[in-house]
Amino acid sequence: MAGKLYGIGVGPGDPELLTIKAAEILKRCGHVFTPIAKEGGASVAFDIARRYIPAATPVTHLLFPMIKDKKVLEQQWMANHRVMEAAARAGQECAFITLGDSGTYSTFSVVRRYFKRFAPDIEIEAIPGITSFAYAAARAGMSLVEGNEIVSVVSANDSLERLERVIDSSDSVVFLKTYRQREQLLKMLKRRGLSDSCTYLQKCGLQGERVTRDLDALAQSPEYLSLVILKKPRAGNNDTSSEQS
C-alpha cells in the first residue's frame, strides 16, 4: 500500500511560527524532503523545521535549480519526483517542506503537479504555513487590509506595466521576489509618489531581519528573501507606521 506525501509550509523564518499540525506531522514522518537551489547549498526550510524533525528521520535535500533552461529543469524535477515517489511507494508518510506557505509561490506546486501526473494514486495533503507577508506586516506594525479594501500579492519579477495596473486597482500591494528588479520597482514607485507609503522587509524571522521605510537607504545588492509592502494612503487611514532600522 502506498504511503502519503505532505507538502508542509514551515513559515517565514521563526521556528516558533511553524503550525502545531506541521510540527506533529514532522515528528512522525518516515522521510523528509527539502529543496535546495544549488548542489551543496543550504536549505532555509530545513533550518527552520529541524527542531521538529527527529534525529533518526532521513532527510533528503533535493535540487531545484533556479535556471531558465526548461528541458534541464524538467529532467531535474522528474528525478526529484522519482526519489519521493519511491519513498511513498514503500508505504511511508513523507513530507516535503517549503519556506512560507505550501500554496503561495512554492516549490511544492511543482512537486504536486508531478505526483498528480505520474503517481495519481498516492495521497497528497498540503499543510499551509504562515506567509512572509503576513509576518512582515505584523513586524512592521501595520494592517495589510481593512474594511472593503483590496490587497494584491504579486511577484515583482512581472512586467512593470502589469505591476502598475495592479497598483491602480488595489489599496495595498505586496511585492514578493523583489531581488531581481528591485531598482526598477523602487524607481517606478518613486515616480508615482508612493515611496513614502512603502515598507521594505528582508529576512523576516531570520538573522539579519530588517524593516525600514527609508527605501533610499537600501544596499545596492538586493537581498533574495525580501519584499515590499505598499499601503496606499486613504482618507481616515494613515496606518503606515513601521519599525525603523
Average pLDDT over residues 37-43: 89
Residue 239 has pLDDT above 60, yes or no: no
CATH among 3.40.1010.10, 3.90.230.10, 3.40.50.300, 1.10.10.10 for 4-127? 3.40.1010.10
CB neighbour list of residue 176: distance below 8 Å, 6 or more residues apart: 105, 132, 133, 153, 154, 155, 156, 227
Same CATH topology for 4-127 and 132-231?
A: no
The residue extents of the domains of the chain are 4-127, 132-231
Of 104-118, 133-147, 176-190, 212-226, the one with minimum mean pLDDT is 212-226
Terminal-to-terminal C-alpha distance of the chain:
54
Q: Which three cell numbers stand for residue 94?
A: 513523507
Q: What sign results for the dihedral spanned by CA atoms 76, 81, 87, 93?
A: positive
Please give the share of the chain, as a percent, with pLDDT higher than 70: 95
Q: Return d(Cα 245, Cα 243) in angstroms, integer.
A: 7
Question: pLDDT of 71-107, one tens digit each?
Answer: 999 999 999 999 999 999 999 999 999 999 999 999 9
Class of domain 132-231 (CATH, top level): alpha beta
Percent of the chain past pLDDT 90, that is, above it, reads 81
pLDDT of residue 245: 44
Per-residue pLDDT band at 1 (split at 50, 70, 90): low
In angstroms, the Cα distances linking 103 to 11, 185, 231, 245 are 12, 25, 24, 31
